[in-house]
Structure 1
Amino acid sequence: MNPAEKVAEISHHLEPLISDLGLILMTAGIAVLIFRKLKQPLVLGYLIAGFLAGNHFDFFPSVKEIKSVEVWAEIGIIFLLFSLGLEFSFKKLMKVGGTASITASTQIIAMCILGYSVGQWMDWSKMDSIFLGVILSISSTTIILKSFDELGVKTQKFAGNVIGSLIVQDILAILMMVLLSTIAVSNQFSGMALLLSVLKLVFFLVIWFLGGIFIIPTVLKKTKHLLTDEMLLIISLALCLTMVGLAANVGFSPALGAFIMGSIIAETTQAEHIEHLVKPVKDLFGAVFFVSVGMLIDPDALYQHAIPVIILSIVTIFGQSISSTFGALLSGQPLKDSIRTGMSLSQIGEFSFIIATLGVTLNATNSFLYPIVVAVSAITVFTTPFMIKYSLPFSEYVAHQLPRKWTKRIERYSASTQAIKTVSLWQKVINAFLIQVTALVVIILAIILLSSTYIKPLVENYHFGIALGALITLIIISPFLWALAFRRVAAEEVEQLMTDRKSRGPLTMLFFIRILMAIFFIGLLLNAFFSQKITLIALLIAITIYLIFQKKLHKQYHRIENHFLANLHGREIEKAKRSRSDLTPWDGHMAVFDIAKESNIAGESLRNLQLRELLGINIVSIKRGEITIHIPQRNERIFPGDEICVIGTDRQVQEFKKYLDQHETDVSPEMIEPDIVLNQIELKNHTFIGKSIKESRLREKTKGLVVGIEKRGIRTLNPESDVILEKDDILWIVGDKKLLADLVHD
């Protein structure tokens, strides 16, 4: 084949791909403009665009390669879940974990029973009814996330419970898929298969999280000075897709892998920046996903199975809402938040498609189930934004209409469940014990499995190779074995419990259990490399060595643990450093505000706004896209989307916030640019002593601003430029970190 023919063949295959993507984005763009003008949720626009661009609507250009669109849609789900992980870290999920688990579990159990019962009532087969129950029990993470974005409710209290419930649902959906596969193949329930699936999921979640937190924040921190925005975006997406591949290879959902990586990166100091960089990619492929869902809407299938579709849509909307509301109430949430949680979870989505496809693939369900599921999903997706939008007035109406006795009982129950959360000493000890033992057991077991799988085959053909491989593995796991056996857990609580004679026995038992577990894993490792006789001898030698080198193992483990904890809490530590300013005598600090598109101050110059004169606030930087303007001139203008960093006292910052709120400006979480700092300088032998602030050219030398001065014990905020600098004066300057450091040592 000559080059011209090759080019023609490539063009032949490429043309439908490009034209389909262009059609999708064009229809999505038109829908966005129309629905933005109508002030309606964009999700509905994307679905209608998908229906128009699909093969079921003949009066509009249609997509030619549906398979390509399905691939893009899967990528869209991955990036949506990755972005979700960036916003809701593991620590945030732990805070709503109990509430979310109760809500999700109640909803899933209720909907599985209800869905199965409805299937049997419609004379469906037993297997169709089982699959239907599971399909109707899983809400759509992507639809709800997009609707929350459009309606601007993601930061509200009930939304945290909704998101936590969705993640719990997704994890439970994976377990149910394994269970359904077992039932479909063997036609019987296998409790052992479910237990193994749970243990496998816990094992991989723990090892991914521990390994990711230990490595990824460190790498990003060490290479921070080398990373441009482009490189950081590429690395972030590469990490996301790597975890997606790992999750898929061990039999989990790719979307779960994307969420896990997002949650890991959410603990790094660059999480906000990465989230900002990923957003355009997420929006692009997310739009393709929602358009692809619209393409699945088949009018013929809707007409043919109209009655089951209507029945199941009603069951889904009301069943999900009521069961989720009851679950949220059961977990101790207030009435209004519970109703809003329930109404937000009233749909089925992407996981339902996956489970329906599983039934068809295994020949466990009839062919009519999938189009019915798609139709029900399309209807409930259409209703979701309206359910979320009107959940607040409806919850207020219900709270007003319910008898006063009922609302008082709900309030008392909610208050009592909050009080129950104050756990006893034994609960704290057991929780700490289980967390530490689970983490250490997973780490040790993972290292042993990797060593026996990959290291042993490499060394077994060499003299003393087996012994060397076992020794290397033993050295690697030795700090973790020491921690498993001897690391103190909940030390203060244990000391208090030891004063009670009845508690000494159980505490001693826990201690011996840990030692026995450490000995067991040493034996497991040696047994993987040697015969049983050699294992017994080597076990005694290994235990003796451990007792001799206890102190060194203690230090090594704590070094590893401290590194992990520093990475885990790095984001909070960085924020604390940025918000702390003990150099200023006015209790001042730096804060960042985002300028909304509709803000009335957008387009105004700093000279016209006169913020320093009116409020005492100094604007120290303006971040505009990838450009940061340090210490902006008075003729600099503020534009929509700018991120402005200000310095002032607590009262001044609060007044400035109120000023911005009056001008419809959104406020971001507090943080400052790391290159801009507030520094204190005491004048001793500096060259600019005897000059005025203006003549000293401190602004030019530091790319900064003199925000305060102390002369003979008298402090002045925002001094005039003609103030003469004298020896022993103390200046407070906000400016470039490096230049200020040079000035201090001048």
Structure 2
Amino acid sequence: MEAPIGQILQDFAVIMIIASVMTLIFYKLKQPVVIGFIVAGIIIGPYSPPFSLIHNLDVLNLFAEMGVILLLFTVGMEFPIQKLKEVGRKAIVIASSEAFGTLVIGFIVAQSLGLGFYDSLFIALAISVTSTVIIMRVLGELKMMKDESATLILGTTIIEDIIIISLLAIFQSAGASGEFSIYEIIVSVGITIGFIAGVLVIGSKIIPKLMDVVARTNQHDVLIVAAVGVAFALAFISFQLGISVAAGAFFAGVLVAESRSHSVTSVLANPVKDIFAALFFVSVGALMDFSLIPQFIVPALILIAVSIGAKFMTVYISSRIQKLNNLTSARTALGCSSSGGEIALVVAKGGIDVGAATPIILPMIGTMTIITTFIAPYIIKYGWRFTEKFSKVRNKDEGQQNQPSKTDDSSNKPP
């Protein structure tokens, strides 16, 4: 009994020390720390020569699952029901067209590249994701948060997260059964919708009040334990229903966000989330077999281009259809298409966990996430500058075309 405990403690120590060193390096390089976590995992993982620094992969997987639950729980806490209502019809239309459009295009391309049905399905879902955290951080650093398109991007990514997590639950349910018949789809959709409706209708009348009762004790330790308990309880219920634990954790966060004490709970939950989110990303890096790079690097680069192109096209067209001006539409499209995100890794691992997808999709999605995270700031920064110059030139040309010529003026004068 002493050896396993010793190994677990050693593994945990190695994970946290290597992760802290790598994130410090990436912070100094002014790069997203999430990439530092992934690189730390690659360094300590079983696929990195000369040897693995981790003894127990089962424990690593357990840490990853807990990381998913707490990560999605804190993401959900940013989206109370009222905020979701305020997002507006425009963001809903844009997010739906982006998510489903990119999913269909990505699936077709993945199939044409020779990938299996479920590999194609989960990869297509993963490349449909846009990282709310990364995009908002980039916009903040570039002082672009007050732009109209920034608000639209935020609303779009919020709705998109809900769509992607719901689709993940459906795909996992169908994938676990090994069938993807119309009947399975209807059952999966019904269970998922029923779960979400039950959580939002029934849960919203119970959980917020319960959290407020706990908050009145003024005991922060009791409050955080209750909040984490809600997260794991709904994650367990969703797991028992055959739905992704990520969906249960996300909507647990939405319910806690409805309580009057949500701001305090959010502050208390952040340190816990940071630790287990780090464990999740490190575990993702550790489980990536980069010896497979020669097999997937070309398809990965093709799918990155497809993801950016499909997102830009669907967002731009749906924005213009809703009568948004050219500048706002282009900037919204650039923001939504620039980066994949952490939920893409959750999707990839979710497909593998139920045995539907093959392990190759994890390093493929991981590589794509790293690349798009690196290029996102440059796409937004230089893309927004270009669209502003292009818009000014276009408006100037349109203004000149609308001005009546001297010949026309003279011809219109009465004799």
TM-score (norm 2): 0.81
Q: How does 1:330-729 map to 2 (within 5 A)?
A: 330=321, 334-335=328-329, 336-345=331-340, 348-358=344-354, 361=355, 369-371=358-360, 373-390=361-378, 391-401=380-390, 404=394
Distance (whole Å) between structure 2 residues aligned to residue 150 and residue 32 of structure 1: 17
Taking a change above 3 Å as real, the CA distance of residues 74 and 98 of structure 1, as seen in their structure-2 partners, is farther
Q: Which residue of 2 aligns with 1:694?
A: none
**Aligned with 2:237: secondary structure?**
helix
Distance (whole Å) between structure 2 residues aligned to residue 328 and residue 346 of structure 1: 22
What amino acid is aligned across from residue 159 of structure 1 in structure 2?
L
Distance (whole Å) between structure 1 residues aligned to residue 323 and residue 229 of structure 2: 40
CA shift for structure 1 position 330? 4.7
Taking a change above 3 Å as real, the CA distance of residues 114 and 337 of structure 1, as seen in their structure-2 partners, is closer
User: Does the Cα contact within 8 Å between 1:329 and 1:338 map onto a contact in 2?
Assistant: no
Q: Which residue of 1 aligns with 2:412?
A: none
User: Does the Cα contact within 8 Å between 1:320 and 1:346 map onto a contact in 2?
Assistant: no
Q: Which residue of 2 aligns with 1:167?
A: 162
CA shift for structure 1 position 148? 4.9
Q: Say if 2:88 is the partner of 1:88.
A: no
Gaps of 5+ in 2: 399-415
User: Does the Cα contact within 8 Å between 1:47 and 1:293 map onto a contact in 2?
Assistant: yes
Q: Say if 2:131 is the partner of 1:144.
A: yes
Q: Which residue of 267, 270, 280 maps to 2:261?
A: 270
Q: Which residue of 2 aligns with 1:132?
A: 120
Gaps of 5+ in 1: 1-9, 409-746
Q: Which residue of 1 aligns with 2:59?
A: 68
| Structure with bigger RCO (C-alpha 8 Å, 6+ apart) | 2
Distance (whole Å) between structure 1 residues aligned to residue 83 and residue 306 of structure 2: 32
Q: Which residue of 1 aligns with 2:46?
A: 55
Q: Say if 2:42 is the partner of 1:40.
A: no
CA shift for structure 1 position 271? 0.5
Greater radius of gyration (CA): 1
Distance (whole Å) between structure 1 residues aligned to residue 176 and residue 51 of structure 2: 40
Taking a change above 3 Å as real, the CA distance of residues 14 and 207 of structure 1, as seen in their structure-2 partners, is same
CA shift for structure 1 position 88? 1.1
Distance (whole Å) between structure 2 residues aligned to residue 83 and residue 165 of structure 1: 16
Q: Which residue of 216, 235, 247 maps to 2:238?
A: 247
Q: Which residue of 234, 247, 250 maps to 1:256?
A: 247
Distance (whole Å) between structure 2 residues aligned to residue 27 and residue 130 of structure 1: 34
Taking a change above 3 Å as real, the CA distance of residues 305 and 151 of structure 1, as seen in their structure-2 partners, is closer
Distance (whole Å) between structure 2 residues aligned to residue 159 and residue 327 of structure 1: 16
CA shift for structure 1 position 327? 4.5
Taking a change above 3 Å as real, the CA distance of residues 331 and 73 of structure 1, as seen in their structure-2 partners, is farther
Q: Which residue of 2 aligns with 1:290?
A: 281
Taking a change above 3 Å as real, the CA distance of residues 93 and 330 of structure 1, as seen in their structure-2 partners, is farther
Q: Which has the higher helix share?
A: 2
1:522-565 CA deviation, whole Å, 9 max, x = no partner? xxxxxxxxxxxxxxxxxxxxxxxxxxxxxxxxxxxxxxxxxxxx
Taking a change above 3 Å as real, the CA distance of residues 407 and 28 of structure 1, as seen in their structure-2 partners, is farther
Q: Which moved more, 1:240-249 or 1:279-288?
A: 240-249
CA shift for structure 1 position 92? 1.0
CA shift for structure 1 position 51? 0.9
What amino acid is aligned across from residue 220 of structure 2 in structure 1?
D
Q: Which residue of 1 aligns with 2:404?
A: none
User: Does the Cα contact within 8 Å between 1:119 and 1:132 map onto a contact in 2?
Assistant: yes
Distance (whole Å) between structure 2 residues aligned to residue 406 and residue 207 of structure 1: 54
Distance (whole Å) between structure 1 residues aligned to residue 216 and residue 111 of structure 2: 63
Q: Which moved more, 1:288-297 or 1:381-390?
A: 381-390
Distance (whole Å) between structure 1 residues aligned to residue 223 and residue 70 of structure 2: 16
CA shift for structure 1 position 295? 1.4
Distance (whole Å) between structure 1 residues aligned to residue 93 and residue 266 of structure 2: 30
Distance (whole Å) between structure 2 residues aligned to residue 220 and residue 181 of structure 1: 35
CA shift for structure 1 position 117? 3.1
CA shift for structure 1 position 256? 1.0
Distance (whole Å) between structure 2 residues aligned to residue 75 and residue 151 of structure 1: 28
User: Does the Cα contact within 8 Å between 2:74 and 2:270 map onto a contact in 1?
Assistant: yes
User: Does the Cα contact within 8 Å between 1:97 and 1:164 map onto a contact in 2?
Assistant: no
What amino acid is aligned across from residue 111 of structure 1 in structure 2?
T
User: Does the Cα contact within 8 Å between 1:116 and 1:130 map onto a contact in 2?
Assistant: no
Distance (whole Å) between structure 2 residues aligned to residue 332 and residue 370 of structure 1: 43
**Aligned with 1:344: secondary structure?**
coil
1:460-518 CA deviation, whole Å, 9 max, x = no partner? xxxxxxxxxxxxxxxxxxxxxxxxxxxxxxxxxxxxxxxxxxxxxxxxxxxxxxxxxxx
Q: Which residue of 2 aligns with 1:710?
A: none
**Aligned with 2:243: secondary structure?**
coil
Q: Which residue of 2 aligns with 1:203?
A: 194
CA shift for structure 1 position 267? 1.3
User: Does the Cα contact within 8 Å between 1:247 and 1:256 map onto a contact in 2?
Assistant: yes
Distance (whole Å) between structure 1 residues aligned to residue 277 and residue 125 of structure 2: 23
What amino acid is aligned across from residue 383 of structure 2 in structure 1?
F
What amino acid is aligned across from residue 355 of structure 1 in structure 2?
G
Distance (whole Å) between structure 2 residues aligned to residue 195 and residue 41 of structure 1: 40
Q: Which residue of 2 aligns with 1:655?
A: none
**Aligned with 1:136: secondary structure?**
helix
Q: Which moved more, 1:309-318 or 1:90-99?
A: 309-318
What amino acid is aligned across from residue 389 of structure 1 in structure 2?
P
Q: Which residue of 2 aligns with 1:700?
A: none
Give the root-mean-square deviation of aligned CA atoms. Answer: 3.1
User: Does the Cα contact within 8 Å between 2:214 and 2:222 map onto a contact in 1?
Assistant: no
TM-score (norm 1): 0.47
Q: Which has the higher strand share?
A: 1
**Number of residue-to-residue matches in the alignment:** 383
Taking a change above 3 Å as real, the CA distance of residues 377 and 223 of structure 1, as seen in their structure-2 partners, is closer
**Aligned with 2:131: secondary structure?**
helix
Taking a change above 3 Å as real, the CA distance of residues 399 and 355 of structure 1, as seen in their structure-2 partners, is farther
Distance (whole Å) between structure 2 residues aligned to residue 326 and residue 27 of structure 1: 45
**Aligned with 2:64: secondary structure?**
helix
Taking a change above 3 Å as real, the CA distance of residues 213 and 121 of structure 1, as seen in their structure-2 partners, is closer
Taking a change above 3 Å as real, the CA distance of residues 100 and 37 of structure 1, as seen in their structure-2 partners, is same
User: Does the Cα contact within 8 Å between 1:83 and 1:282 map onto a contact in 2?
Assistant: yes
Q: Percent identity?
A: 22
Q: Which residue of 2 aligns with 1:423?
A: none
User: Does the Cα contact within 8 Å between 1:135 and 1:355 map onto a contact in 2?
Assistant: no
1:629-660 CA deviation, whole Å, 9 max, x = no partner? xxxxxxxxxxxxxxxxxxxxxxxxxxxxxxxx
Q: Which residue of 76, 89, 106 maps to 1:115?
A: 106
Q: Say if 2:299 is the partner of 1:299.
A: no
